[in-house]
């Protein structure tokens, strides 16, 4: 099982950074993905994760995503993120 590289939490909202390896034309490369989730308890009291956010979760999501981006920038050997953020 692939373990997360880093996880940032604010309340029930978390951003998890995953380090992945791929190949393109026989050349290996590393890339990162980020999952954004909100934890909640179901009716049976079991913890679950959802990718749906409530309006009150948005500031927390912005915070953890900002921390994830900062981590990636500070720990990238070249100092450049391969994928650009498009808004």
User: What is the per-residue pLDDT for 77?
Assistant: 55
Domain count, the chain: 1
User: What is the per-residue pLDDT for 84?
Assistant: 45
DSSP state for residue 52 in the 8-state scheme: -
Please tell me the distance from the alpha carbon of residue 61 to that of residue 14, in angstroms, as a whole number: 7
Is position 1 within any domain? no
Tokens representing 80 are 């450049």
Is position 70 within any domain? yes
User: What is the per-residue pLDDT for 8?
Assistant: 97
Note down the domain range covering 45. Answer: 6-75
Is position 46 within any domain? yes
Is position 38 within any domain? yes
**15 close to 64: Cβ distance less than 8 angstroms:** yes
Is position 17 within any domain? yes
Is position 30 within any domain? yes
User: What is the per-residue pLDDT for 61?
Assistant: 98
Is position 67 within any domain? yes
pLDDT tens over the chain, length 87 residues: 678 999 999 999 999 999 998 888 888 888 899 999 999 999 999 999 999 999 999 999 999 999 999 999 988 755 445 544 443
Q: Rounded to the nearest 10 degrees, how much is the dihedral formed by the CA atoms of 13, 17, 23, 25?
A: 80
Is position 87 within any domain? no
Tokens representing 82 are 């391969």
């Amino acid at each position: 099982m692939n373990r997360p590289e880093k996880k940032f939490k604010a309340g029930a909202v978390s951003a998890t950074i995953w380090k992945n390896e791929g190949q393109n034309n026989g050349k290996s490369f590393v890339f990162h993905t980020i999952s954004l989730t909100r934890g909640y308890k179901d009716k049976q009291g079991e913890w679950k994760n959802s990718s749906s956010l409530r309006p009150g979760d948005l500031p927390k999501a912005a915070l953890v995503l900002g921390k994830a981006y900062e981590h990636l920038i500070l720990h990238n050997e070249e100092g450049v993120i391969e994928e650009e953020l498009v808004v």
